[in-house]
Chains A and B, each alone.
Chain A
Amino acid sequence: MGKKRKHSETQTAEPRKKDEGAPERPKRTLMGWKDKDEVNQQTESSPDSPQVFRNKEKVMVTCSRRINYRYRHLMLNMVSLLPHCKKDNKVESRSSKGATLNELIELRGCSSALFFECRKHQDLYMWMARCPNGPSVKFLVNAVHTMEELKLTGNHLKGSRPLLTFSSNFEKDAHWKLLKEMIIQIFGTPKEHRKSKPYHDHVFVFSIVDDHIWFRNYQKSVPHNESDKMVRGLDKMTLVEVGPRFCLNPIKIFAGSFGGPTLYENPFYVSPNQIRALEKRKKAGKYAKKVKAKTRRKMHEQSNPLEPDEFADMWRE
């Protein structure tokens, strides 16, 4: 975010040619468009709100090669949900992933990225990163339901600004707070974005249950046969799920973008490979276990012989 401050450096160098014809364009700084007079008056204005804050967030959404159909649809759903995103081609590299991705983000002029990485055609990892030197998070994605599922019946305007709701757990710890801030910046559509639409007709739900972040997207629907005014009775509002749905398991938080020192590591995280290996191992010893159990039973029977049964000969002719 600090990289685009070059203009302020060249500010003093520019001569003031006011009679050049068309009035000069106001300076473009991070904090909004400013006329030159305003720039001079910067120091004079009150320190509370001198500059207009403009959210210039741009998210780059990419995926790795060999991605599953389901996860590709999830990625496309994300692209349609975030009007301030730019979809890029598939990223091939595996070894120098961080460097390549950082370069790509710079190239496209984005400030954050969502990278969907699919391993072994089965597991989806999602990276959320802030480009220049910001933190990045790696998540394991579970329980994916895309918008195309017919059971998710809601619909909303494409590009309308979402309402982000967070459960109160997000304030409980530093890493959740950091994640919350990143989510707000990435998933929140900037105000007055070119592709954004008015009205807020959908809600995002981010909630922490069992140390996972669950995501839901609901459409607000109000019965239309009420009064024609904009303000309708909110008691009858129902929420219809639009989708997609997924569940994020944070794995690691890095200080740099796609790399750097680890700030947080989830102590409860087990990689899906390990889970699969464990299952296989459980199944592997089945025969050996059976044989052992048999011998054990035999020993047990030998050591504790049964009493002779009184009624054993009862039915014998």
Chain B
Amino acid sequence: MGMADGSKDRIFAEGEKERTKREATDFHAMGLRSKDLSFLQSEKAVEDNVDDVMGDYSEEEDSESESESDQEDVKLAEPSKTAVYNREGLVEKLEDIGWPENVDWMHKLSLDIDQEKEVDVNDDLARELAFYTQALEGTRAAFDKFQSMGLPFLRPPDYYAEMVKTDAHMQKVKGKLLAQKRQIEESEERRKAREAKRIAKEVQAEKLKERAKQKKQEIEEVKKWRKQRQQSGFKDGKDSMPDLGFEDGKTFQRSSKKRPGVSPGDRSGGKAKQGGGKSNNKNKKNREFRNSKFGFGGRKGMKKQNTAETTNDVLAFNKSNAAGNKKRKR
């Protein structure tokens, strides 16, 4: 086991040299379990390979790969030992498919943006922000390049051509955005209305209090005046009468605001408008008739009733008529 530990340290040191920690090669030994003897044998082989230039090799041991995290896209906690990493092959292929060196940047249009800090995958906002800033920086850099080359970059507003999303689709998008905006506005309004109502209620309460206070005050004043008059022996006449404002006799009159009388057959409770003065009289009559028959649910059907007259009308039934009730089975 001593040997194994020593080798592990060495491999760890190697791992630190590489910038990324996640290379399968360096972790081949780290993920090993100490129980299995056969692993120790192959560990030596791994060491040799790791020390040399990364050749083309693949581990043949079959090992269980356990996944321990519970995200939607699960990742192995320990890297699998059977992972192949053929660096030379990769570089070779890269040279194979790569475009020649002197290719203009205009063909590639690719930019490398420095990503300063590690972004947590699960934090959606931070991740999207990172992508956004990457795109923005890329655009700025490209814009500078294009400017230096004197080429047009952004689309002028009057250039009309086929777009990648159809106009119908964009209409839907617009509709949805507007609906959202409307929703927000409505909720704002509702909130404001609630607030206003609360305030109005308070104000009303205040007003009532005021009125009550005023009334009390006035009554007190009258009493005082009466007492005063009593004391001074009713000799003043009417000079010092306080102007109390309720002697014009108006308080005993009812307000002249008329409330319309409601007839029993009127289903609208007297609130139905009778129409403007412009409408024709005949038209109005027609409208009234139709309103009473069909408006607001129609006339209360008092069509069939057992009244005295109808009870005595047994003879109205036609006995000879065979097709009376179709539903009755014969």
Q: Which residues of A approach B to under 8 Å, CB–CB?
A: 1, 48-49, 53, 55, 80-81, 130, 134-135, 142, 147-148, 150, 153, 155-175, 177-178, 180-182, 184-185, 188, 190-191, 197-201, 203, 205, 207, 209-212, 214, 216, 218, 220, 222, 224, 230-232, 234, 237, 239, 242, 247, 249, 253, 255, 261-270, 274-275, 278
Q: Taking the nearest CB of chain B, how far is it from the CB of A176, in angstroms?
A: 9
* Partner among A180, A205, A262 whose Cβ is within 8 Å of the Cβ of B135: A205
* Partner among B82, B91, B134, B143 whose Cβ is within 8 Å of the Cβ of A167: B134
Q: Taking the nearest CB of chain A, how far is it from the CB of B165, in angstroms?
A: 5
Mark contacts of B38-75 with chain A using CB atoms, 8 A cut-off: 1 yes-contact digit, 0 otherwise. Answer: 00000000000000000000100000010100001111
How many pairs of residues, A versus B, come closer than 8 Å at their CB atoms? Answer: 229
Q: Is the CB of A158 within 8 A of B90?
A: no
Q: Is the CB of B134 within 8 A of A165?
A: yes
Residues from chain A with Cβ under 8 Å of B137 in the complex? 165
Q: Is the CB of A155 within 8 A of B165?
A: yes
Residues from chain B with Cβ under 8 Å of A210 in the complex? 75, 121
* Partner among B97, B108, B111, B130 whose Cβ is within 8 Å of the Cβ of A134: B97
Interface residue B254 (Cβ < 8 Å from any Cβ of A): no
Q: Taking the nearest CB of chain A, how far is it from the CB of B7, in angstroms?
A: 19
Q: Is the CB of B164 within 8 A of A156?
A: yes
- How far is A275 from B76 in the complex, measured between Cα atoms in Å? 10
Mark contacts of B149-188 with chain A using CB atoms, 8 A cut-off: 1 yes-contact digit, 0 otherwise. Answer: 0001111110101111100011011001100000000000
Q: Which residues of B approach A to under 8 Å, CB–CB?
A: 19-20, 22-24, 27, 58, 65, 67, 72-76, 79-87, 89-91, 93-94, 96-100, 102-104, 106-115, 119, 121, 127, 130-132, 134-140, 142-143, 146-147, 152-157, 159, 161-165, 169-170, 172-173, 176-177
* Partner among B79, B107, B109 whose Cβ is within 8 Å of the Cβ of A53: B107
- Contact status of A155 and B97, CB under 8 A, knowing A207-B115, A278-B67: no
- How far is A265 from B87 in the complex, measured between Cα atoms in Å? 11
Q: Is the CB of A184 within 8 A of B86?
A: no
Q: Taking the nearest CB of chain B, how far is it from the CB of A206, in angstroms?
A: 9
Residues from chain B with Cβ under 8 Å of A184 in the complex? 108, 110
Specify the main secondary structure of chain A where it touches its partner: mixed
Q: Is the CB of B173 within 8 A of A157?
A: no
Residues from chain B with Cβ under 8 Å of A261 in the complex? 86, 89
Q: Taking the nearest CB of chain B, how far is it from the CB of A109, in angstroms?
A: 18
- How far is A190 from B111 in the complex, measured between Cα atoms in Å? 16
Q: Is the CB of B85 within 8 A of A269?
A: no
